[in-house]
Amino acid sequence: MENALTKVQLPNGLQVMLKEMHTAPLISQWMWYRVGSRDEATGITGASHWVEHMQFKGTPTYPAGMLDKAISRDGGIWNALTYLDWTTYLTTVPADKINLAMQLEADRMVNSTFEPDEVASERTVIVSERQGNENSPLFRLDEEVQSAAFRVHPYHHEVIGDMADLESMQRDDLYNHYRRYYVPNNAVLTMAGDFETQTMLKRIRKLYEGIPAGEQPPRQTRPEPEQSGERRITVEGPGETIFVKAAYQAPQGGHPDFSALTVLDSLLTGPSNLNLFGGGISNNTSRLYQALVERELAVSVNGGLQATVDPFLYGITITVHPDRSAEELIAALDDEIDKALQAVPQKDDLARAVKQAKALFAYGSESITNQAFWLGFAEMFDNYEWFTSYLDKLAAVTPDDVLQVAQTYLRPQKRVLGIYQATGNGASNG
Amino acid sequence: MAKALKERHLGSIPGPDDVTRTELPNGIVVLARGNRHSASITLSGYLPAGSLFDPDEQLGLADFTASALMRGTSRRDFNALFDALESIGASLGFSGGTHSVGFSGKALAEDLDSLLELLAEVLRQPVFPKDQTERLRAQLLTSLALRAQDTGQMAALKFDQLVYPGHPYSRPDDGYPETVLSITRGHLAEFHRKHYGPRGLTLAIVGGVEPGEVADKVQAVLGDWANPEQPEPPELPDTPTLGTPLTERTELPGKFQSDIVMGAAGPRRRSPDYLAAAVGNNILGRFGLYGRIGDVVREQAGLAYYAYSSLNGGTGPGPWTVLAGVNPANEQRAVDLIDDEIRRFVSEPVSEEELRDSQTNFIGRLPLSLESNAGVAGALLNLERFELGLDYYRRYPALVEAVTREQIMEAAAKYLDPDRLAVAIAGPPPAE
């Protein structure tokens, strides 16, 4: 039974995935809902994230503050994350303390009250969260790049939402969003750790089978029209440091090209770490580090693909060298991208990318929390087999595949180029 | 069932029966613990070559030296070093601190020997090549430029200057732009020659490895290292006592949120009241969603996304602080609320329920904090650095349970005198 995956769907549609493993006396529980910022219409941007906050504000059975205190008392960790496509609630606790976390999770699928005064006090907390983000040049640049990349698709706005909506949204907007999407047939419960699968399954059935299925929530599908020319945007703001972000229209996580693009990313900017826990490695031998940092045009470069439901972006973020301009940097970046568009990569370089991915996987697998994360995360944009076959898929990528995805996705016509133009320490532009 | 669980639970906590501690003839201490479930290893350690040794005019020298170790050795240049690391998916990095330089790395278990060989090479034979040193300098200066724009970092930097006047803790380990500009390659080489050596070097290796073999592996690459010149770490002067509350505000135009850091110097890690202070700190600003501070500032007043407290005692008396990020219009309100909480914290014992909650939190979270190889390695280094004893984590539950409400109040009152707190704020000018 150990390390075997059990996948069950309850009659109400709740999908359950259990991975029994006895490496540490811990259990990690994640409840995933297929709702994220892409499910928000103009006027309620940020609703999914705000709902996530309200899920800690109490139900008639478990009042506000109960959950965080109860889990902390047991020495557990808890958190929640809202993303473009999904929202998830995680708890990792000593194995003999999982019951309460399970009861709370089932309870708040249905019974959160969204008290108006709690909504009001959370409004200012979230506005503060957004203002904290706005202090960061890279948040401001990312937000503008993302909105320039998506005119039609709801990936247009940041997860935190637009300030105008954070100021105007009302309690019922949030509550309706919650009731619409928080139904068992729109959720995946994943658990990994020190339990006996059949016993755990019984407990889950008992907690969830009484919750009726809801109407299947809609998923906004407004595909982004094909981009037919480079878009450039500039953000001005305080500081002395210039940042450049190149964001290319990229395929979704489940797309057959995703693996080859992952290898290409590894060659260009070093291996991306998709684990939430486990840490990454340096990228000093990657092509863009060599071309930009070693030639003193930049002081750092990072890249990354996101595994999303619909096509999103492949982003390259560069911190420009203090003695250089954005234009000099962009010219050097383009030279290197051109090479990727023209030359077939070496087979050895591909083998190295696979070895790096293998190491990152080993680092991430130490953590039971990370194991339970992968069960659900992969399910959100594809399915768990995506994860278990990941290394094999990377190993199967050929040099020609890499050239082909470069030519498909890395053309300048398919990108947004964003520049954070620093206006100095005294200047104000906010 | 309950018994079996408890035994497994204990088995996951490092102790004398599963941690191997070896002192090599040249003074290097090696700690090792196996993890049969892991296909990888973590290597972490430190040596006493921190910014305490920096002259004021070259502040940042220790940090610069640590970062420059991997820029080239007498055997391999920058690219060859990182090719060796990255081609096997391994990592190794150094970071400068006040008392010591820390390092940590990861590799697949099969690559431990390669990682150790690299570590020894960069520790012993760095050459600080000219071009790489200049590239690194530009990176360090960029970090400092970003620091100057970061409200949280600027508030913390000002806070240290307020609380530790004339003390080494008032100085940022990464220096200032002008001091980093004044550092030459000669300074780096000299700092390395003098301060890097086996004495005080401590190394923990955890993961898919036979712990009995680890010391021999380290001996093979670092066993013949000697440096008779290595100085004793300088004595820390006493922490200055503040006469009155001090407040300083740093203006960063164009920002949207202000960061607040308030507090005072706290206990050393080895101080007898450290654990009482730590449990108290958990009640003050951590437990659940940020303890009492989070409850008042975030949950009740809705002023901040984050508002919590932090106890940073280490080798010396690091700061005990409360931190919050707020809208500039709410700075004073947040400071007043935090001030009220600190006054209550130092004058009334915490409740029995609060104490019990934080005690079970400290004890219960041990397995989770020791789940990963990196978590265990960090825990082993703490055992050595603070001379806690290999059985410390096994004794820990009893130590935590022995903390009393009175001890917490005494520790709080000793360190957090509400009439002598420092308050540092960084945010946009008031008009914005």
B291-333 pLDDT tens trace: 999 999 999 999 999 999 999 999 999 999 999 999 999 999 9
What percentage of chain B carries pLDDT values higher than 70?
97
Banded pLDDT at A67 (limits 50, 70, 90): confident
Domains, chain A, ordered by start = 5-208 (3.30.830.10), 231-422 (3.30.830.10)
Instruction: Say how many domains are in chain B.
Output: 2
Are A72 and B93 within 8 A, CB to CB? no
| Residue B105 bridge partners (DSSP) | B43, B92
Is there a domain that residue B32 lies in? yes
pLDDT at B85 over 90: yes
Q: With an 8 Å Cβ cutoff, are A122 and B302 in contact?
A: yes
For residue B97, the distance in angstroms to the closest alpha carbon of chain A comes to 21
| Nearest by CB: B368 against A77, A127, A323 | A77
Mean pLDDT of chain B: 94
B358 & B290 share domain: yes
Which residue among B288, B372, B374 places its CB closest to the CB of A68?
B288
CB atoms A241 and B142 under 8 Å: yes
Higher pLDDT among residues A2 and B174, named by residue: B174
- Residue of chain A with shortest Cα separation from B296: A121
Does A428 reach chain B within 8 Å, measured CB to CB? yes
User: Of A220-224, A234-238, A306-310, B115-119, which gets the smallest average pLDDT?
Assistant: A220-224
| B207 & B252 share domain | no
B21 and B155 together in one domain: yes
What band does B5 get if pLDDT is binned at 50, 70 and 90? very low
Q: Give the model confidence (pLDDT) of A301-312 as tens digits.
A: 999 899 999 999
Residues B372, A359: C-beta atoms closer than 8 Å = no
- How many CB contacts within 8 angstroms connect chain A with chain B? 224
Q: Are residues B279 and B409 in the same domain?
A: yes
The answer on pLDDT for B8 being more than 80 is no
Q: Is residue B233 domain-resident?
A: no
Do B302 and A194 lie within an 8 Å CB cutoff?
Answer: no
User: Which residue is closest to A280 within chain B, CA to CA?
Assistant: B91
Mean pLDDT of B266-275: 97
As a whole number of angstroms, the distance between CA A418 and CA A332 comes to: 15
Instruction: Single out the residue in B222, B257, B292 at which a domain terminates.
Output: B222
Chain A residues within 8 A of B357 when measuring between CB atoms: 69, 72-73
The 10s digit of each residue's pLDDT in B241-257 is 877 779 999 999 999 99
- Mutate one of A104, A131, A242, A321 to test the B interface: name it (highest B CB count within 10 A): A131
Same domain, B137 and B173: yes
Q: Does residue B275 share a domain with residue B133?
A: no
Q: Do A428 and B326 touch (CB under 8 A)?
A: no
Nearest beta carbon to residue B40 from set A135, A322, A359: A359
Give me the residue from A134, A239, A428 closest to B149, CB to CB: A239
How confident is the model at residue B3, as a pLDDT? 38
- Please name the residue that has the structure tokens 């959370």: A122
Residue A287, both tokens: 């092509």
A319–B325 C-beta distance less than 8 A: no
In this prediction, residues B412-430 reach a mean pLDDT of 95
Smallest CA-to-CA distance from B18 within B36, B34, B3 is with: B34
Alpha-carbon separation of residue A232 from A65, A145, A330, A341 (angstroms)? 46, 8, 12, 21
> What pLDDT shows up at residue A110?
97
Compare CB distances from B141 to A271, A322, A426 and report the shortest one's residue.
A322
With cut-offs at 50, 70 and 90, classify the pLDDT of residue A277: low
| Residues 278-297, chain A, touching B (beta carbon < 8 A) | 278-285, 290, 293-294, 296
Interatomic CA distance for residues A3 and A197, integer angstroms: 10
CB within 8 Å: B362 and A75: yes
User: SS in 3 state form for chain B?
Assistant: CHHHHHHHHHHCCCCCCCCEEEECCCCCEEEEEECCCCCEEEEEEEECCCHHHCCHHHCCHHHHHHHHHHHEECCCEHHHHHHHHHCCCCEEEEEECCCCEEEEEEEEHHHHHHHHHHHHHHHHCECCCHHHHHHHHHHHHHHHHHHCCCHHHHHHHHHHHHHCCCCHHHCCCCCCHHHHHHCCHHHHHHHHHHHCCCCCCEEEEEECCCHHHHHHHHHHHHCCCCCCCCCCCCCCCCCCCCCCCEEEEEECCCCCCEEEEEEEECCCCCCCCHHHHHHHHHHHHCHHHHHHHHHHHHHHCCCEEEEEEEECCCCCCCEEEEEEEECHHHHHHHHHHHHHHHHHHHHCCCCHHHHHHHHHHHHHCHHHHCCCHHHHHHHHHHHHHCCCCCCHHHHHHHHHHCCCHHHHHHHHHHHCCHHHCEEEEEECCCCC
Task: Report CB contact under 8 Å: A365, B12.
Answer: no
> Do B399 and B333 belong to one domain?
yes
Cβ atoms of A378 and A364 closer than 8 Å: no
Region at A246 (left for phi over 0; alpha for psi -120 to 50; beta for the rest): beta
- Measured between alpha carbons, how far is A429 from B65 in angstroms, rounded to an integer? 37
pLDDT, residue A428, reads: 44
Q: How far is A428 from chain B (nearest CA, A)?
A: 4
- Residues A6, A80 contacting (CB under 8 angstroms): no
| Residue B398 sits in the same domain as residue B324 | yes
In this structure, the answer to whether residues B269 and B350 fall within a common structural domain is yes
Alpha carbons B215 and B33: distance in angstroms, whole number: 11
Nearest CA to CA, how far is B49 from chain A (Å)? Answer: 24
- CATH number of the domain that B125 lies in? 3.30.830.10
Residues comprising chain B, all counted: 432
Residue B378, amino acid: G
- pLDDT value, residue B12: 77
SS3 (DSSP) at A420: strand
Q: Is residue B9 in some structural domain?
A: no
Residue B229 phi/psi, 5-degree rounding, is: -80, -15
Q: Which chain B residues contact residue A365 at CB under 8 A?
A: 39
Domain boundary, last residue among B222, B256, B275: B222
In a domain, B232, yes or no: no
- The answer to the question of residue B272 being in a domain is yes
Does residue B199 share a domain with residue B311? no
User: CB of B91 within 8 A of CB of B211?
Assistant: no
Q: How many CB atoms within 10 Å of residue A34? A: 18
Last residue of a domain, one of B222, B255, B277: B222
Q: Are residues B273 and B181 in the same domain?
A: no
Query: What size, in residues, is chain A?
Result: 430
Antiparallel, parallel or unpaired: β A187-193 and A15-20: parallel
- Inter-chain CB proximity B142 and A283 less than 8 Å: no
Q: Which chain A residue has the Cα nearest residue B140?
A: A299
A424 touching chain B per CB within 8 A: no
pTM confidence score:
0.94
Instruction: Kindly state whether residue B12 falls inside one of the protein's structural domains.
Output: no
Amino acid at A210: G
> Is the domain of B215 the same as that of B283?
no
Does B34 map to a domain?
yes
> pLDDT digit string (tens) for B360-387?
999 999 989 998 899 999 999 999 999 9
Domain assignment of residue B240, yes or no: no
Backbone φ and ψ of B406, nearest 5°: -65, -40
- Structural domain of residue B309, as residue ranges? 246-427
**Is residue B142 within 8 Å of residue B175, measured between CB atoms?**
no
- From the CA of A191, how many Å to the nearest CA of chain B? 16
Average pLDDT over residues B390-414: 97
- CB pair distance less than 8 Å for B82 and A299: no
Instruction: Please report the pLDDT score of residue B51 as a whole number.
Output: 97
The arithmetic mean of pLDDT across residues A141-166, rounded, is: 97
Please give the Cα distance from A365 to A71 (Å, whole number). Answer: 23
Going across the sheet that includes A187-193, the strands are A5-9, A15-20, A187-193, A26-33, A87-94, A77-82
What is the number of alpha carbons within 13 Å of residue B412 lying toward its C-beta?
26
Tell me the average pLDDT of chain A.
Answer: 94
Q: CB distance from A196 to chain B under 8 Å?
A: no
Q: Do B138 and A322 touch (CB under 8 A)?
A: yes
Rounded to an integer, the average pLDDT of B4-26 is 78
